[in-house]
Amino acid sequence: MAKQSPVSESSAHLDLVDALPVVAESTTSRVLVTNDVMRIVQFTFDAGEMLTEHTSPRAVAVQLVSGRMRFTVDGTEHAMGDGDIIYLAPGASHALVAETACRMTLVMVDVLT
């Protein structure tokens, strides 16, 4: 897991395809950035892998870097392909099923109140 870093500290995360390969019959993840306002996580999914329905108290942006998946938000299913992005409002229920091997980046942002 990435160590907590100050918001004022820049970082680079390179060669992720090699560092986080798709593993057969698995879902894998790596926390890239975590600080007081943001968390960035990269996931890989083999075909058929899924995340069951859940919610997050944070605002979330999901970008499918490569592959195809079905991503459900508040009961509405979206067919995602390379480069597609979905925004999740805080508390939105969501789930996914990878149709092919996939690489996805998730950005969670704390909501200012």
**Residue 2: what pLDDT?**
72
pLDDT tens series, the chain, 113 aa: 578 889 999 999 999 999 999 999 999 999 999 999 999 999 999 999 999 999 999 999 999 999 999 999 999 999 999 999 999 999 999 999 999 999 999 999 998 76
Give the residue carrying structure tokens 């007081």: 36
pTM (predicted TM-score)? 0.92
Residue 112: per-residue pLDDT: 72
> What are the chain's domains?
25-109 (2.60.120.10)
